[in-house]
Homo-oligomer: A and B are copies of this chain.
Amino acid sequence: MKNIYKFFPVLLFAVSAGAAVQAQTIQQYVSKNDKKLMEEYIQFLSIPNVSTDTVNIRKNAAFIQEMMERKGIKAELLNGTTPGVTPAVFGEIKTPGATKTLGFYAHYDGQPVNPKQWHEGLDPFKPVLLTGSLENGGKIMGPYKNGDAINPEWRIAGRGSADDKAGVMAIINAYEALVKTGKKLQVNIKFLFEGEEEVGSIHLDEIFKKHKAKLQADSWIVVDGPRHVSGKKTIVFGVRGDVNMALTTYGAKRPLHSGNYGNWAPNPALKMVQLLASMKDNKGNVLIKGFYDDVTPLTSSEKKAMAQIPDQDVLLKKELGVHTPENSERSLMEGVMIPTLNINGIQSANVGALAGNIIPTKAEVALDLRLVKGNDHRKQAQKVIDHIKSEGYHVVTTEPTEEERSKYANLIKVEVKHGYNAQRTPMDLPISRSVQAAVQSTIKEPLVLIPTMGGSLPLYLFEEILETKVITVPIVNYDNNQHAENENVRIGYLWEGIETIAAIMQIK
């Protein structure tokens, strides 16, 4: 594969010097090559990519590196300063005479999987085709057979299919499509594919600092997250920040018979539900002191964009089976503009067939705090800790000792995970307008412009360390089960994603 790379610059020049091509060229190229693209993507999705699975995660990095080189992009692995951590994959294309540089970022790692929770017939790392969304009557078709015709309405199910191997796939293939169709580049292009995004990009700062010169660009385009619910092409100018917390309450040292000890032994599940219930009311309002302080107000152009975002709540309610939102007076997009407190998961002993008549020894909760511009992740987590203390808890950060257990009636372990702040790029900067024009050139109907998406990416690092702007271009379907079981991507959106990225790469 490396031989191809060696001759590539010559080939590129020759093709670039060819005749002018039509606006639909990329679309035609994708359509003609869909089976090849599919085969390659299925291979990619078959490599397990849970962030903490360090052996497999490196296989993903190697796969990407080889894929890039096969398509004429010299690629290398970038490490941070901490030894042994997951590398990012970097690549660069220098365009003769170009004065500007555009970077393209996506991540190749995925959220944890609990295969038992996936639909029968689905396996996180054995991708299969679906005729549509399973929740809306889609059927499982089985694995893709090489060479078979592909319906863009179909979906590919597997961890990372939408979040965010789709981004990696679209970026690399957009470049190849430009080369193969003889489009001439006017800017330098850089590629960066991270492998630790789903664990909070814990070493991205190191990589940025160590390779600051290499990663310099006028702007980075982040390809991640879902399009607007309307299915329209979308550009997002900001992301929420995020910090996770893990809480553990304690009961007796061993599980107790609920008959022999019921009414006497403290139940950690009861303590946990009482504590959580004190944090949020049944109108979706967080009751923690100062929780909504620190929020930076929207600018007038952001407010204007907000007003033009198509309504999605009616469709979403129906599609998701939501009768009434948490707060019935707030739209989805209005909710995105304020911080959240979400219970990601709760567990104490067992339920269903495994349930025993016991008083559990502990109750565990995973919390997720989404942050908006103005919030500081450490301060936001501290507000939760202060609230827990105000509810009478003694807070420890590691498993409590015998002495701590004997000393405090209400004991809780609080672990604050790695967090990061929100980021928002002004929508009226020249680069913001250029990206907007490029994506708009691929379709007739108006784009959806969103000041801040609901999801999180550590985009503040681009601003703070690389001192560059960052704009997010999501390409996948909104109903992709991102972060959960049965993750899937609508194939047509993968193809359109390639066209979208190719258009942005042609910015002058």
Binding site for B on A (CB under 8 A): 52, 111-112, 114, 135, 225-226, 240, 242, 244, 246, 250-267, 269-274, 276-278, 280, 282, 284, 313, 318-327, 330-332, 335-336, 338, 340, 342-360, 363-366, 368, 370, 402, 405-409, 411, 453-456, 478-479, 481-486
A-B contact pairs, 20 of them (CB 8 A): A114-B354, A246-B351, A252-B320, A257-B455, A259-B455, A260-B453, A260-B454, A262-B335, A263-B335, A264-B332, A266-B325, A272-B273, A272-B346, A274-B282, A277-B278, A321-B402, A345-B354, A346-B346, A346-B349, A351-B366
- Bound-complex Cα distance A5 to B359 (A): 45
Query: Do A242 and B454 touch (CB < 8 A)?
Result: no
- Pick from B272, B284, B345, B363: contact of A350, CB under 8 Å: B345
Residues of B with C-beta under 8 A to A350: 112, 114, 344-345, 347, 366
* A407 / chain B contacts, CB cutoff of 8 Å: 323
A224 to chain B, nearest CB (A): 11
CB pair B370 A366 closer than 8 Å: no
- Give chain B residues whose Cβ lies under 8 Å from the Cβ of A402: 321
Q: State the CA gap A409–B283 with chains docked (Å).
A: 12
Q: Is the CB of A483 within 8 A of B258?
A: yes
User: Considering only CB atoms, which chain B residue lies closest to A326 in the complex?
Assistant: B266
Bound Cα distance A454, B263 (Å): 10
Taking CB atoms, residues of chain B closer than 8 Å to A478 are 260
Nearest residue, chain B, Cβ from A263? B335
A347 and B344 form a contact (CB under 8 A): no
**From B111, B265, B321, B331, contact of A322 by CB (8 A):** B265
A508 to chain B, nearest CB (A): 33
Number of copies: 2
Whether A269 contacts B483 in the complex (CB less than 8 A), given A282-B274, A323-B408, A326-B263, comes out as no
Chain B CB within 10 A, most for which of A135, A332, A343, A363: A343
A343→B270 CA distance, assembly (Å): 7
From B356, B363, B368, B406, give the contact of A484 (CB < 8 A): B356
Q: Could you say which residues of chain B place their CB within 8 Å of the CB of A354? A: 112, 114, 345
A117 to chain B, nearest CB (A): 8
B111/A356 in contact, CB under 8 A: yes
Q: Chain B residue with minimal CB distance to A480? A: B257
CA distance A408 to B321 in the complex (A): 10
- Contact in complex: B370, A356 (CB < 8 Å): no
B112 touches A267 (CB 8 A): no
Chain B's closest residue to A278 (CB) is B277
Q: Which residue of B lies closest to A456 (CB)?
A: B259
Q: Which residue from chain B places its CB closest to the CB of A323 in the assembled complex?
A: B409
| A345 (CB) vs chain B CBs: closest residue | B349
Chain B residues near A326 (CB-CB < 8 A): 263-267
Chain B residues near A267: list those with CB within 8 A.
326, 342-343
What are the nearest 6 A-B pairs in CB distance? A263-B335, A255-B484, A259-B455, A277-B277, A355-B366, A262-B340
- A430 to B353, alpha carbons, bound, how many Å? 42
Return the contact of A273 from the options B112, B318, B346 (Cβ within 8 A).
B346
Tell me if A335 and B274 are in contact (CB < 8 A).
Answer: no
**C-alpha spacing A312/B180, complex, angstroms:** 82
Residues on the B chain within 8 Å of A251, using CB:
322
Complexed CA–CA distance, A358 and B360 (Å) = 25
Interchain nearest-CB distance for A346 vs B (Å): 5
Residues in chain B near residue A481, CB distance under 8 A: 254-255
Most buried by B among A277, A327, A330, A405: A277
Q: Which of the listed residues A256, A331, A342 has the most CB atoms from chain B within 10 Å of its own CB?
A: A342
- A112-B356, A321-B253, A356-B484 known; A263 and B338 CB under 8 Å? yes
- The residues of B that contact A260 with a CB separation of less than 8 Å are 225-226, 336, 453-455, 478, 482
Q: Find chain B residues with CB under 8 A from A408 CB.
A: 323
The listed residue (B274, B345, B486) touching A269 by CB distance below 8 A is: B345
Q: Which residues of B contact A482 (CB under 8 A)?
A: 257, 260
A365 and B351 contact, CB distance less than 8 A: yes
A252 and B319 CA atoms in complex are apart in Å by: 9
Contact A270 B276, beta carbon cutoff 8 Å: yes
Do B344 and A485 have beta carbons less than 8 Å apart? no
Nearest CB on B from A188, distance (A): 32
Residues of chain B contacted by A409 (CB below 8 angstroms): 323-324
Bound Cα distance A162, B323 (Å): 48
